[in-house]
Amino acid sequence: MNLFTTLANRATDPERVFIRTPPGATFTYGDVATTTGRIANTLVALGVEPGDRVAVQVGKSAESLLLYLACLRAGAAYLPLNPGYTGTELSYFLEDAAPRVFVCDPEGLDAADPIRRAAGVAHLETLGTNGDGSILDKARGAPPEFADIARGDDDLAAILYTSGTTGRSKGAMLSHGNLESNARALMDYWRFDETDVLLHALPIFHTHGLFVATNVSLMAGGSMILLPRFDLDEIIRWLPQSTSMMGVPTFYSRLLARPDFTRELVGHIRLFTSGSAPLSAEVHKEFSARTGHAILERYGMTETSMNTSNPYDGDRRAGTVGFPLPGVEIRITDRETGEPLGRGEVGIIEIRGPNVFTGYWRMPERTKEEFRDDGFFLSGDLGLIDDRGYVSLVGRDKDLVISGGYNVYPAEVENAIDALDGIAESAVIGVPHADFGEAVTAVVATRGDDPPTEEQIRDTLGRVLARYKIPSRVLFLDALPRNAMGKIEKKVLREEFHNLWSA
């Protein structure tokens, strides 16, 4: 069944508020039905057919979430893109995904138009953060009634791009069945119901803020307070009117730095969850002491949405990501042989379940490489399962850096640095950082008489990479350490600069 049809059937009262956008705008479940119907009719009028992609690079707003839901209704595949992507990055996504429609921010229209034309995208529309934009103008004249396009569990609902170690981004294809199964499992596991009010301060261009927060709230028939971004003052203001909050570790470490973040302030909250990056045991402990709440940490990824979670009832153990969700299987295997390992042994985390994506867009060979013959997906993450069945993450097999909840793949940044004059070689690593979890850090060796400075490197990268990928520091060495096989030893660099941000 179409995911939207399933979610829409969960709401029993059309007058119930689904989205509240401070200072005062609201969207009821009835508004969701009529507005998504109008937008779905608009998409069909633009020639969107079942399976077509709709790429969206806009700011966070209630209307952008309704556009996502309208794409589901029309049978299209929703393709969210980080607003921070540069023109070079955008060109790749549009050329690879070949969407029928591209929706951008009104202010970015002039820059986006030649890019979408070069990529062969038929239609360019706009959507602002204040209820403005061409697609909403057209939708206002469209009928609100729309018969949801029939979709099966395996039909494509969304494509989310995730970079690979080669630097080439891969489009993870998520089906209606993938998203529905995960929303249903999380709603039950985390005890969401129609009385819940979720404080939503996450971005909505990746799985955490888009699918986990939105779909779970809809599945439960609950409400959301939708903040445009993480703003400490606004979080403090709206926490007393919320029952839950989903965040990344940075949210919680920054809240703890506020003296007005007190036990009394969060007395109405029943659940804090954290993900997208490891939560330190120190933050977990301090948060519990300050508020009386044990943050519930879970484990997910673009290709699978959520896989594991600490229990709602029971011991939420710091440093672990809990147990496999109902219907999800987790096993730990040897990196070299692929053989299953016993409890307490570190290996590759493999995942099988209805949440696991259907493959990488237009990459059948890469898809085949990432799956075992028995259907288990190779996550690329290193972990273990302890004697009590808790899953722990102990590293990332491909040197992924997670900074502030965003995935940064070193090869992409290294390629951009190595292309600069005066650079002999570079290595990008993650260095522990109290606020971001990890800070993107570049270590370079230069050549020539006039090598670039740290400021020059960072400024140049700012023109070709999204802001969160730009190294917080660029460090210089005469030569990078290498092993006997000639490979740069990033482990040595991580150890050498481990205390860079704690000094």
Q: What does the pLDDT look like over 50-107, one tens digit per residue?
A: 999 999 999 999 999 999 999 999 999 999 999 989 999 999 999 999 999 999 999 9
User: What is the pTM for the complete model shown?
Assistant: 0.86
Name the CATH architecture for the domain at 3-211. 3-Layer(aba) Sandwich (3.40)
In angstroms, rounded to a whole number, what is the distance separating the alpha carbons of residues 249 and 186?
20
Residue 39, pLDDT > 80, answer yes
Measured distance CA(500)–CA(339) in Å, rounded: 38
Q: What is the mean pLDDT of residues 390-419?
A: 83
Give residue 349's pLDDT: 96
Q: Please write the tens of the pLDDT for every residue from 244-292.
A: 999 998 899 899 999 999 999 999 999 999 988 778 788 899 999 999 9
Gap between the Cα atoms of 129 and 105, Å rounded: 8
CATH dotted code for 230-396:
3.40.50.12780
Distance of alpha carbon 154 from alpha carbon 115, whole angstroms: 31
Question: Does residue 226 register a pLDDT over 90?
Answer: yes
CB 297, CB 308: distance < 8 Å: no
Tell me what the mean pLDDT of segment 174-197 comes to: 97
pLDDT band (50, 70, 90) for residue 442: very high
Q: What is the pLDDT of residues 477-500, one digit of tens each?
A: 999 998 654 578 888 999 999 999
The Cα 211–Cα 159 span in angstroms is 12
Interatomic CA distance for residues 250 and 283, integer angstroms: 10
What residues are paired with 382 via a beta bridge? 348, 395
Q: How far is it, in rounded angstroms, from Cα 427 to Cα 440?
A: 11
For residue 256, what pLDDT is reported?
Answer: 94
Reduced to 3 states, what is the DSSP secondary structure of residue 222? coil
The answer to whether the CB of 336 falls within 8 A of the CB of 132 is no
What does the pLDDT look like over 201-216, one tens digit per residue? 999 998 999 999 999 9
Domain ranges within the chain, ordered by starting residue = 3-211, 230-396, 401-496
Helices then strands, counting H and E runs in the chain, come out as: 16, 25
pLDDT of residue 503: 63
Quick one: pLDDT at residue 165? 41
Write down the architecture of domain 401-496 according to CATH.
Answer: 2-Layer Sandwich (3.30)
Same fold, 3-211 and 230-396: yes
Q: How does pLDDT run across 124-171, given as a tens digit for each residue?
A: 999 999 999 999 999 999 999 999 999 999 999 999 998 644 457 899
SS3 477: coil
Q: Give the β-pairing of 123-126 and 101-104.
A: parallel
**What pLDDT, on a 0 to 100 scale, did the predictor assign at position 282?**
82
- Long-range CB contacts (< 8 A, 24+ apart) of 96-99? 96/169, 96/171, 96/361, 96/362, 97/53, 97/55, 97/159, 97/171, 97/361, 98/53, 99/52, 99/53, 99/54, 99/55
